[in-house]
Amino acid sequence: MTVPLSGVPLADHAAVYTALADAGFTDVWSAEVNGTDGFTPLTLAAAWEPRLSLGTAIAPVFTRGPGLLAMTAAALAETAPGRFQLGIGASSPVVVGDWNATDFDRPLDRSRDMLRLLRAALAGEQVDEAFATFTVKRFRLERPPAVPPRLMLAALRPGMLRLAAAEADGVILNWLAASDVPTALAETKEAGPGFEVATRIFLIPTEDAAWARTVGRRLITSYLTVPAYAAFHRWLGRGEALTPMWQAWAAGDRKGALAAIPDALVDELIVHGSPEQCRDRVRAYADAGVTVPIMALTPTPELDRGGLPALLELITELGPTTT
């Protein structure tokens, strides 16, 4: 499950983490955009619920310096030995440039350099090297973790997917249908044994299909108009289906962009329906090769009305141990 959950204060997440573990969820994964940072919710989970594994999806490679990212990862790995995976990625020009005042330059090279820096630093080695995108002089972690975290790389297209296969312990996918997973994984066939495949899956747990599709269209225009995701879906073969939306968006016609998204495309990319239907759709990702399917829960009117008790009940219904 992606955490923190919308509408629940961080201080109240102890009950959420317990409910997730009781329901059979194995992992909680954070995101880092403009809500919480990626590490605080996981630190709370490490302290409150030792049954859960932890992961960042993702910590951007541009928004923290190399030494700071290594220290932050080392601290969480020390807090939850053997339970933490560090997912990193390029993020986007908006997050990196507009919100964090940092140049979004050469994202593949920066990702490769950060992978190599983190691999060495988290193993307790001194790093003194001029990488392609930054130089680090005589850096060594004072508290290297006894169990270094596995390193995951977010990837959308062939170059980054191949980098993940060559130098990371796993890949993080996002915004794709279960039917797209084999296309992405074809670029990681050179990965070694134990290579993890994590995928964030947007989930709207309501049987009101019209409402779910309305929300789904808003999500799609928010993400798939970003150049990297637009290029990703062109590569996946959705250029023709998405061109009307892109054209309307570029012309400033937001309503037209929403209207240009067909129901079938929303249903491909957004999981919605009853808890049982949602579980079946998530299993389809696992059947396609995803080893860590990560639900990203979107609030619904039912959840808004029911508050935390309704959310905890839904977690139980969505859990993989539910029969």
CB 51 within 8 A of CB 21: yes
- Residue spans of beta strands (DSSP E) within 75-190: 84-89, 127-130, 135-139, 150-154, 170-174
Question: Could you tell me where the beta strands, DSSP code E, fall in the chain?
Answer: 2-3, 27-30, 53-56, 59-60, 84-89, 127-130, 135-139, 150-154, 170-174, 196-204, 271-272, 292-297
Contact assessment for residue 236 and residue 229, using Cβ atoms and an 8 Å cutoff: no
Give residue-wise pLDDT tens across range 146-175: 999 999 999 999 999 999 999 999 999 999
Q: pLDDT digits over 6-19, tens only?
A: 999 999 999 999 99
Model pLDDT for residues 120-130, shown as the tens digit of each residue: 999 999 999 99
pLDDT tens, position by position, 171-209: 999 999 999 999 999 999 999 999 999 999 999 999 999
**Mean pLDDT for the chain?**
97
pLDDT band, very low/low/confident/very high, at 322 (cuts 50, 70, 90) = low
Give per-residue pLDDT as tens, 63-81: 999 999 999 999 999 999 9
Give me the percent of the chain exceeding a pLDDT of 90: 98
pLDDT of amino acid 320 = 85
Decide the pairing of beta strands 53-56 and 84-89.
parallel
Q: Number of helices and strands (H, E) in the chain?
A: 14, 12
Structure tokens at 132: 């392609």
Parallel/antiparallel/unpaired status of strands 135-139 and 127-130: antiparallel
| C-alpha torsion 211→204→187→108, nearest 10 | 90
Question: Residue 323: is its pLDDT beyond 60?
Answer: no
Residue 113 is predicted with a pLDDT of 98
pTM for this model (two decimals)? 0.96
Torsion of CA 209, 210, 214, 219, to 10 degrees: 10
**C-beta of residue 96 within 8 angstroms of C-beta of residue 60:** yes
Q: Which ranges constitute the DSSP H helices of 96-253? A: 107-122, 158-167, 181-185, 209-223, 227-236, 239-250
Cα separation of 294 and 279, whole Å? 12
pLDDT at residue 321, rounded to an integer: 73
d(CA 315, CA 3) in angstroms, rounded, equals 12
